[in-house]
Amino acid sequence: MSLIDLSKQVALGVDIGGTNTKYGLVNHRGEMLGKGRLKTDAFGNAEDFIDALYEQAIPLINKHCPQKQFDGIGVGAPNANYYTGTIEQAPNLRWKGVIPFAAMMSEKFGVPCKMTNDANAAALGEMMFGAARGMKDFIMMTLGTGVGSGIITNGQLIYGHDGFAGELGHTIVKPGGRKHWSTGSEGSLEAYASATGIAITAKKMRAEFPDSMLNKYPEEAINSKVVHDCAIAGDPTAIEVFRYTGQKLGEALANFVMFSSPEAILLFGGVIRAGDFILKPTKLHMERNLLPIFRNKVKLVFSELDEADAAILGASALVW
């Protein structure tokens, strides 16, 4: 029996998004020893992706783990299942069907691999190292290409009976509303509050208001960053795009609050760069739709962690 220096044990944390994958080597103290990234959507299947990740990550692991202190891999990915280690029918990934991702990773790297939903991983990271430190009840919403969520109640992630809990981006906020480009569902939160949804809203609204600054951009250039630029320049249509988005998001958050009564809702991801343009209407419509007992209690805050780091740190924590 030998003493183990925990500070020298490391795990690889991997955050798989629809577009980009980021990974980092993390020690027990939550220190990032090194990191890297690759394009998720450059790979048509999970095998090729894992091969490429291996080629990139192994030099990093070998550099920091000369004495086999590499404990394992934690992965956050869309529709990843904590119980089975599979990625199942993820709408935002090119890899379709049910993929035994954890088993494939484990075989390739020769260490154990644990998985969870990418937003769950971010929530864990936020609870251990970010704005939710010390909180036992909070909801993490990631507003990026899609809308993800991780729900903590009583200090634990909600996984549900099958490991798929926390798909709040796919809850319906407007029955019979906007059709989702991938799931086909009508009026889901993701169809409005994701970067993709914001671009759709912007394209619709600029068509209604020919004077809008948004009309200076070609169709394919319209994205949430351009809308933000126009809002800063004072364009009323661009401001209205975020107001409408915030209304839909706020209405959805009110429903989530009445479900689990969290101390805080953390917002996270590219969309929050719009700052108060989105935060203010979100808060207004959240409060407006709450029962009085819930009003003016829930902190609505932006994540303090670097977006990628939260998920990498949270994913790495699955190993221990």
Binding site for a copy of itself (CB under 8 A): 79, 88-89, 91, 135-137, 151, 153-154, 156, 158-168, 170-175, 183, 185, 251, 254-256, 258-263, 289, 291-294, 297
Compute the least distance from the CB of residue 116 to a copy of itself, in Å.
13
Residue with Cβ nearer a copy of itself (13 or 91): 91
Do the bridges between strand 70-77 and strand 113-117 make them parallel or antiparallel, or are there none, so unpaired?
parallel
Six-digit token string for 54: 């291996």
Compute the least distance from the CB of residue 83 to a copy of itself, in Å.
11
Long-range contacts of 317-320 (CB under 8 A, 24+ apart): 317/11, 317/13, 317/30, 317/74, 317/124, 317/125, 317/128, 318/74, 318/75, 318/114, 318/115, 318/116, 318/121, 318/124, 319/11, 319/71, 319/72, 319/73, 319/74, 319/112, 319/114, 320/11, 320/28, 320/71
Q: What are phi and psi of 36, to 5 degrees?
A: -165, 180
Number of Cβ atoms within 10 Å of the Cβ of 155: 10
Compute the least distance from the CB of residue 81 to a copy of itself, in Å.
9
| Cα–Cα dist 24/15, whole Å | 9
Compute the least distance from the CB of residue 265 to a copy of itself, in Å.
11
Compute the least distance from the CB of residue 106 to a copy of itself, in Å.
23
- Beta bridge partner(s), residue 35: 24
Residue with Cβ nearer a copy of itself (98 or 233): 98
Residue type, 225: K
Residue with Cβ nearer a copy of itself (229 or 263): 263
* Distances, alpha carbon 195 to alpha carbons 56, 59, 108, 278, in Å: 29, 34, 34, 12
Compute the least distance from the CB of residue 91 to a copy of itself, in Å.
8
| Cα–Cα dist 117/226, whole Å | 29
Residue with Cβ nearer a copy of itself (233 or 258): 258
Compute the least distance from the CB of residue 294 to a copy of itself, in Å.
7
Residue with Cβ nearer a copy of itself (54 or 83): 83
Residue with Cβ nearer a copy of itself (130 or 166): 166
Compute the least distance from the CB of residue 169 to a copy of itself, in Å.
9
Strands (E), the chain: 10-16, 20-27, 32-39, 70-77, 87-88, 98-99, 113-117, 138-143, 147-153, 156-157, 264-268, 299-302
Residue with Cβ nearer a copy of itself (9 or 185): 185
Residue with Cβ nearer a copy of itself (20 or 255): 255
